[in-house]
Structure 1
């Protein structure tokens, strides 16, 4: 009897160490926190969302840059088939007018013959055949009709929406890593249960061997224990396979090396959730609200398309000798552009955006309802998990007491080895069930914290 009681004490120690500790508030394992951070850094989805956030920031800079002057340097060379000149009548008129001016200057009557020894100046061409131009233009928007400011606000709300989308994606990644980590903890705890069962069977082998030597048992009893040990090895192999799959899943989620993950020894810890803790607005809701605000400013931006816009225009020519007689060397002006009617395009686009805004409102209402339902469901699941844990703990106690009683009867030849193995199997099943109950309890707590928007990691 003494070896048996020693094995029972050892089993109790294993079970006590396997019991989850109750943690007040949410305190994740530091190793788990590190894995979550690595998972967030590795996530391709989060990295892609980060690029979209940067794009929204660039859109804001583009909206601001509308009011910066645009300076353009221009250069060109053009060869015409001929010089551009006045027509023959205009040329004749300019020549005769020149003669009249000269006659008047030297005191000749206007109807007298023009002296041949006085040279006349040729009528200049309007544009030379070879044109080399070099200039600078300045375009400066002074008032955009509020279009740029509305575009800036729309981009800001889009950036905020994308940031909340990223936070919501982080929650999903964290939940997946926590669940996988807890599954690994469940496998580790199950292996401890199998180890304790193996110790029980080893004690039974010793007892049966002595009983056979003393003629109190048959070799069939030993064969049945050997079969039970083989079945146990099959269960251990199954859990080893599960352990390998979970390690691979964590490696994929976090990028942590498989060697380091193999060294993990996670434990199932229960979280005591304060029912009075008020929830916070979920990131999914915040993302939809910011997206709705962005569409509202987009609608305002289209509406401002009908507000007059004011801009300054400047031009300066560097090569004056290549200018035509009609081209100015420089000019500065202020212009106004007023879109009065655009064929209903702005109105229709604004209507389309208004429908998108209404869609976001419906999504927000639906999300709030689903979150409220999720909180209620998570609270019920948590309460059910706590109750289930208490029930299973009683089942474990009863299974152990039954095994102790049957084992005592077997050693006094009042029970068969089959009854002993059945009782031992009941203990094993109860312990597995207890670990699964702890796992479900932790799942319910995590879901509840996430539903309330207070999942911290």
Structure 2
């Protein structure tokens, strides 16, 4: 296997001091704990738990208190027939009843005896808990995938810089040889300039790669929930081993998307049941404790408190609502059909993802072996060309051509390596094994 050394110089680009080096596994674990999106999803889970408690509380007794104080500047009068008091028929008189000071207080307790909507609502709240947990899982999967892709890209940039710096060292030797030949009138000055121009081009490319590397390290900090001012270095050596291409057909039934759709279907079923429950009556028991105080001040002051207590049974039944519930039920049934189609579509998509990922792993395995051999061959040809150039048997054009061929082979090798790692990542994502729960 071709072994690539660590790129130590790039670790100093983001810091001037020593920073602990994190592997992909360590950085992913850190991201799954400290990423802001993950923490936000966890807060959403706590909100869901509060909603479940809210639904449960609706099944408990409800106690209310009401108080009322009135001072009548003028007591309201009522019209009464005088015949009720022995007067003539057809004659009426206005009379004020009561006292100017009125104080009333009522305590009422209600307990639901029968309401199918509450039980259905409790089941729906529990489904919401499961959905919230799946949302956290999906967020973690996205974070883990983005961290891995960014990590691999950063490693690629680091290795490209490593290759280019090695090429510059070899190019410097060629420049010295060519300059010496020119001074001894055995070569052309333009050949030295062409080599120096090639070196400047590679140095410019290195600076651009280093700048992109710094951006990716900053992105990794953001994904992992690490403050930008903190130090971070990564392992710049990409794992070069090939992967084992799975032979058995994976179903991908563990995919979060499928699990979410399953819970959404169940929630839709509960919503339909809840609408149907609206056709049924609800029954509640209640008890009331009332105390009224009537009073008047002055020389003929008077104060009287009158208590009252009673129990009751209340039934509520919306017999006809203008077909509103029927139309709502029809909507939910159609939404259920949509969810079934989405589930079927998602299964087909997952099957396609699994097939593509398996194919890519197989192709990139072979590409990695081929590109590795190409790098070895290009390196060998470049070294032979340098020797021939030093002996004066070939011109500068051949040297530059073989140097470019070596650089292309190196880039192809890194591209194949990253594509293989990405294909492995896509396989884990497609089969629902990107993160462990």
TM-score (norm 2): 0.83
Distance 1:232 1:30 in 2: 29
User: 1:108-123 counterparts in 2 under 5 A?
Assistant: none
Distance 1:92 1:83 in 2: 24
Distance 2:227 2:99 in 1: 77
Q: 1:202 to 1:35 in 2, by over 3 A?
A: same
User: 1:293-372 counterparts in 2 under 5 A?
Assistant: 293-319=266-292, 329-372=308-351
Q: Does 1:90 align with 2:84?
A: yes
Shift of 1:136: 0.9
Paired position in structure 2 for 1:411: 390
Secondary structure of 1:454's counterpart equals coil
Question: For residues 119-144 of structure 1, what are the alpha-carbon distances to aligned partners after superposition, in whole Å with 9 as ceiling and x for unaligned?
Answer: xxxxx986434321122111111111
Shift of 1:46: 4.0
Which of 62, 67, 78 in structure 1 is aligned with 2:70? 78
More strand by share: 2
Say if 2:254 and 2:431, in contact at 8 Å, map to a contact too.
yes
Paired position in structure 2 for 1:201: 171
Secondary structure of 1:329's counterpart equals strand
Which of 351, 357, 360 in structure 2 is aligned with 1:378? 357
* Residues 257-266 or 411-420, more deviating: 257-266
Which of 104, 107, 118 in structure 2 is aligned with 1:133? 104
Which of 249, 252, 255 in structure 2 is aligned with 1:282? 255
| Displacement over 6 Å in runs of 4+ | none
Q: Does 1:175 align with 2:175?
A: no
Structure 2 unaligned runs (5+)? Answer: 7-20, 88-94, 296-303
Structure 1 unaligned runs (5+)? Answer: 1-11, 20-28, 94-123
Larger Rg: 1
Which of 407, 416, 419 in structure 2 is aligned with 1:428? 407
Q: 1:192 to 1:83 in 2, by over 3 A?
A: closer
Secondary structure of 2:83's counterpart equals helix
Shift of 1:187: 0.6
TM-score (norm 1): 0.79
More helix by share: 1
Paired position in structure 2 for 1:17: 4
Q: 1:238 to 1:125 in 2, by over 3 A?
A: closer
CA RMSD of aligned residues (A): 2.9
Question: For residues 337-385 of structure 1, what are the alpha-carbon distances to aligned partners after superposition, in whole Å with 9 as ceiling and x for unaligned?
Answer: 2332222122211221122222111111111111110111111111111
Distance 1:55 1:349 in 2: 27
Q: Does 1:396 align with 2:375?
A: yes
Question: For residues 236-263 of structure 1, what are the alpha-carbon distances to aligned partners after superposition, in whole Å with 9 as ceiling and x for unaligned?
Answer: 1221221132233223333424465553
Say if 1:84 and 1:128, in contact at 8 Å, map to a contact too.
no
* Residues 252-261 or 146-155, more deviating: 252-261
Q: Does 1:447 align with 2:420?
A: no
Shift of 1:419: 0.9
Distance 1:321 1:165 in 2: 60
Secondary structure of 2:393's counterpart equals coil
Which of 20, 25, 29 in structure 2 is aligned with 1:33? 25
Which of 195, 206, 227 in structure 2 is aligned with 1:236? 206
Q: 1:257 to 1:319 in 2, by over 3 A?
A: closer
Shift of 1:151: 0.8
Paired position in structure 2 for 1:67: 59
